[in-house]
Amino acid sequence: MCHFRAAIHMMPQFSMEVLLAKEALLPLSGTYYQAMAIKLIEAGHECDALHELAWEPITSNAEAAALFDTAARQFSIPRPSQDEAVSTLVRYHAEQITKENSDPHAELERMMNEVYWPEVSKHQSSAFVGDSHDMEEFVGAYWNYDDLRDSPDVVGYNGLYGQEAILAFDQHVRTLARQWLERHTEPANHSHSIPL
């Protein structure tokens, strides 16, 4: 039997749903699963499968994945489809980008590595790269950061160059993330969130 006891403090959220979404799109290591199981337990999630995953020696990535899947089933959290996994991870990274203490470029790189390259890049675009999953503005921003960093004296943003342009573009990317979140409804279940 699994249960959740409320965590005392809340920080940026990572959830079992986010981990299941990553699992649907990316190969995850056994040590990654173990680290996430420890975070879930520390956040108040109690489940035999999580404890076994966190504290027992894991012999393979498949064994770790199976234990995590058992814990998710015991918490009644379904495995996402590929599209649900994309939506969950884009939402997660967009939420992180909107935080003033975040590094939008680093979060955007994580979004590209975890969502765009492994899944969205395989889908046909209708007009813009990434538009199959409403990621086209994020994809464009990702490449714009490269231009701003690679040619800071030549490429600018809103009349600014160098570090000033990057800081202004960070705010633009935060706006893009807020707009994406406004266009997409909140996921139904955040009950299994943990501090990251």
Q: What percentage of the chain has pLDDT greater than the value 90?
A: 68
**15 with 72, same domain?**
yes
Q: Is residue 69 part of a domain?
A: yes
User: Where does residue 58 fall: left (phi above 0), alpha (psi -120 to 50 degrees), or beta otherwise?
Assistant: beta
Q: Is residue 178 part of a domain?
A: yes
- Positive or negative, the Cα torsion across 105, 106, 109, 114? negative
Number of domains making up the chain = 2
44-77 residue pLDDT tens: 888 899 999 999 998 799 999 999 999 999 989 8
pTM of the predicted model, to two decimals? Answer: 0.85
**42 with 108, same domain?**
no
**100 with 54, same domain?**
no
**120 with 95, same domain?**
yes
**75 with 88, same domain?**
no
**115 with 55, same domain?**
no
Print the domain residue range for 133: 82-183
As a whole number of angstroms, the distance between CA 100 and CA 32 comes to 27
Domain final residue, candidates 79, 96, 131 = 79
